[in-house]
Structure 1
């Protein structure tokens, strides 16, 4: 661990005039006494993080199998970066770092709609997150949907923006989580295509070199065969009796 868990809330408060964006949004839009439709929709969007990478993978495998390797590698890289961030740059989520001003709205939604408690509002649950979050896979989904046309890209963009907004409004992540998550994801998606292209180019050069070597060997053998003196057969060289 190289960063204090309170670094993110301090940095975010400093960037936004001493107030967390989660607190600002909840003060204006959230009613603790009543869960409305927007709270439920945004909670569903946030929860979809746990299934959307697999849905995207299945869709790519079905429709654009040539992109599957790129998707898998890029997703693996971004999640690996996220794991490093989780270990080295941990932070408490807004609802835990500032419990007097930020509410974990998903707790209210699940309690009021399904009778389920997350047990986090009273500080009974210890949470730790990294400086990265859902954009690790959102950028992957968005960039892959680009290959399905403008309509799919527009849907992906709306979903990505809704996810980024929901995690801040719900008190699950900081704005800097979202920004750094996008940076990490886009970096991963910038690395993979270049790596694949470089590897393919290297393999193509190797195959070309092998083909040239093979052709040179065959040509050399052919030339040696032509240059060798013809040995007369015994039947042709033996005198008649």
Structure 2
């Protein structure tokens, strides 16, 4: 998405508070949107059937590869548990410092898409492949390799904190959505071939990881990309609306300037406004006149 370069870099502390507020609202919303487990399972199975019909079922072979090959599965689990929360903030900081004129549009795009994803979690709670019955052929690699990391058997949350996450927020995959956003930023603003290559590789790698670890279906990844596309379309309008609101609010709260004393009226020679101090020049003139 071409991002307009019309606004200077905002203050870092206001951005930190804004991003923190949006992420807290997103996390709280995920918890409130858990939905019914049976409904989430039905949605997961419906997605699996649709993928088989469309010959898109890449999750099974990838999950078998990750399950049977620890040298692939363990790094993939670490990637799933960490990169989502490290790379995205790092890209935001990089844009803020190196490309301040592009930062506001990029941040607005990311936040809008995240909120759209929350709506998706609410409307369509979805059981990820790893939580389906074992007869469906998926293995939870996070649980299988939990001895190598800080997580337990409940997604990527630290042991004992699984109850604080919504494990049925699989549709859309914001792991893929955020990775796509990072990839676009690296491709657009990276100045070296390596950064542009990472911009292509990172979202592709994330898509493979979320399927191989049985955390998402392929259609979850497609939905994550679609959410980012809608967010990109809405971001310019959202910024224009914000600018209009700021302008209107700024006009209403503009400071009132003090009126000019005398209301623009002139005084006659030698007349003073009550309380007015005489100038030193006026005092000198009076002294000279008295001397003459």
- TM-score w.r.t. the length of structure 2 is 0.58
1:132 aligns with 2:172: yes
Kindly tell me: are residues 115 and 85 of structure 1, through their superposed partners in 2, closer, same or farther at Cα, counting changes over 3 Å? closer
Contact 1:9/1:20 (8 A) holds in 2: no
Aligned match of 1:24:
61
Kindly tell me: are residues 117 and 62 of structure 1, through their superposed partners in 2, closer, same or farther at Cα, counting changes over 3 Å? same
| 2:79 maps to which of 40, 45, 57 | 45
Kindly tell me: are residues 86 and 149 of structure 1, through their superposed partners in 2, closer, same or farther at Cα, counting changes over 3 Å? same
Query: Per-residue deviation at 1:155?
Result: 0.4
Kindly tell me: are residues 150 and 16 of structure 1, through their superposed partners in 2, closer, same or farther at Cα, counting changes over 3 Å? farther
Contact 1:78/1:185 (8 A) holds in 2: yes
Query: Per-residue deviation at 1:130?
Result: 4.0
Return structure 1 stretches of 4+ with deviation > 3 angstroms: 1-4, 17-21, 193-200
Aligned match of 1:92:
127
1:179 aligns with 2:213: no
Kindly tell me: are residues 86 and 115 of structure 1, through their superposed partners in 2, closer, same or farther at Cα, counting changes over 3 Å? closer
- TM-score w.r.t. the length of structure 1 is 0.69
Which ranges of structure 1 fall in alignment gaps of 5 or more residues?
204-241
Contact 1:82/1:130 (8 A) holds in 2: no
- Counterparts of 1:111-126 in structure 2, within 5 Å, are 111=147, 113-114=148-149, 117-118=152-153
Cα distance in 1 for residues equivalent to 2:170 and 2:126: 6
Cα distance in 1 for residues equivalent to 2:235 and 2:154: 40
- Counterparts of 1:87-236 in structure 2, within 5 Å, are 87-100=122-135, 101-111=137-147, 113-114=148-149, 117-118=152-153, 127-133=167-173, 134-145=175-186, 146-149=188-191, 151=193, 152-193=195-236, 196=239
Which ranges of structure 2 fall in alignment gaps of 5 or more residues?
1-34, 156-161, 246-292
Query: Per-residue deviation at 1:68?
Result: 1.3
Cα distance in 2 for residues equivalent to 1:98 and 1:150: 46
Cα distance in 2 for residues equivalent to 1:74 and 1:44: 27
Cα distance in 1 for residues equivalent to 2:100 and 2:52: 44
Kindly tell me: are residues 78 and 115 of structure 1, through their superposed partners in 2, closer, same or farther at Cα, counting changes over 3 Å? closer
Kindly tell me: are residues 116 and 51 of structure 1, through their superposed partners in 2, closer, same or farther at Cα, counting changes over 3 Å? closer
Which digits, 9 at most, give the CA deviation of each residue in 1:108-130, with x for residues without a partner?
2222x24753257xxx9783114
Which digits, 9 at most, give the CA deviation of each residue in 1:173-197, with x for residues without a partner?
1111000100111221233246547
Cα distance in 1 for residues equivalent to 2:227 and 2:151: 33
Q: How many residues in Structure 1 have an aligned counterpart in Structure 2? A: 196
CA RMSD of aligned residues (A): 3.2
